[in-house]
Amino acid sequence: MDCSDSDCGDTGYEDYYNIQPWGGEVDNDVDPEQNRRDPEYAVCDCLRVEEIKPTPEQVPGSKSQKGGVCSVCVMVSPADRFSTLTCGHSFCKDCWCMHFEVQITQGISTSISCMAQDCDVLAPEDFVLSLLAKPNMRERYQQFAFCDYVKSHPQLRFCPGPNCQIVLRSKEQRAKRVMCSSCKTIFCFRCGMDYHAPTDCGTIKKWLTKCADDSETANYISAHTKDCPKCHICIEKNGGCNHMQCYNCKHDFCWMCLGDWKAHGSEYYECSRYKENPNIAHESVHAQAREALKKYLHYYERWENHSKSLKLEEQTLEGIKMRINNKVMNASGTWIDWQHLFEAASLLARCRYTLQYTYPYAYYMESSPRKELFEYQQAQLEAEIENLSWKIERAETTDRGDLENQMDIAEKRRVTLLKDFLE
């Protein structure tokens, strides 16, 4: 069956890339032209295991062997109890079988080598299967061999979804977003991890390792509360939007930098950009270490903040679903009349998901005009995301046309950034 990765898909908020009214059928070919314009778009086949299991390669038969003493068990056996690999080393079938069972128990399959000392010749699949007697061992070996086959094939990838048995075959070996047609898991085809554009596979692995290693250092920024910069009352962040309004003094400020929100407006969105110390190369080792930590925390805080915002916006989407259902039940319109709210929340999640993965990309970029362009586009995307989030959270008083216009702007910012920097 075909698995086409488009911007329309199954229901559910966890699928940040697909907008579909719940209860509807999935149509992956709604807009093929839009798919071709999508820089993340990829097409793959979702196959069952039996559809791609390779046939064991046939190897030349065992060489004739006279009966004698097996050099492993030192037992005398007749000729028909010996088997010989292409390297010429011959052992009794019982020893071969025991050798294979030990290797399979350790999870080894296609890399089982000859028992002779310093011999690197591998035992082919049909040779191993001809000597394994226990059905459970034969089954385990075939499972391991199939896994090795898929992992070594440049166009095949196991779906990482829980308990999913689907294997995806891609038309192109690139770091593209693919979706399993069975469990709807979305992941990067190249590395099998959560999709991470515009950050490449190697960079996201480095970033996630660094975050895990430095998690204790960054613990202090994990709290959900900050003080209002004007009246200093404690405020809890209970939504995804970074545009905050103090319930006490009504002061509007940015959750990330605590600056006056008016300064963010249509100006360059500075708080997403890290300002490096131009004289750091001449500072002491300790000063450089502090600067490195400061830089890391700048990007980590924004990475973590958008991750939390995505979780908070799940609640927003659930609330929108309930509101739409209530309006439909109370004859205040049909699903079509209110569908734009659901689409806006889904688009917001898709944009914020992309924005979250721009921070590892920026962290590892060297200072250059290209980095300045990236940070400018990153800032523009972040500004439009916050505008969209603000309007969604106040959707009851927001004009539909204004909301749909903001959706269009945010998506164009996202696609533009990916087209320029997706490698």
Q: Say which residue the tokens 């697909």 belong to.
A: 18
Q: Answer yes or no: are the C-beta atoms of 103 and 112 closer than 8 Å.
A: yes
- Beta carbons within 10 angstroms of residue 414's beta carbon: 25
For the question of residue 241 being annotated catalytic, the response is yes
Q: What is the 3 state secondary structure string of the chain?
A: CEEEECCCCCCCCCCCCCCCCCCCCCCCCCCHHHHHHCCCCEEEEEECHHHHCCCCCCCCCCCCCCCEECCCCCCEECHHHEEECCCCCEEEHHHHHHHHHHHHHCCCCCCCECCCCCCCCECCHHHHHHHCCCHHHHHHHHHHHHHHHHHHCCCEEECCCCCCCCEEEECCCCCCEEECCCCCCEEECCCCCCCCCCCCHHHHHHHHHHHHHCCCCCHHHCCCEEECCCCCCEEECCCCCCEEECCCCCCEEECCCCCEHHHCCCCCCHHHCCCCCCCHHHCCHHHHHHHHHHHHHHHHHHHHHHHHHHHHHHHHHHHHHHHHHHHHHCCCCCHHHHHHHHHHHHHHHHHHHHHHCHHHHHHHCCCCHHHHHHHHHHHHHHHHHHHHHHHHHCHHHCCHHHHHHHHHHHHHHHHHHHHHHCC
Catalytic residue among 114, 241, 254, 271, which?
Answer: 241
Give the whole-angstrom CA distance, residue 289 versus residue 41: 40
Distances (CA, A) of 26 to 40, 43, 44, 182, 239: 19, 16, 16, 12, 30
Positions marked catalytic: 241
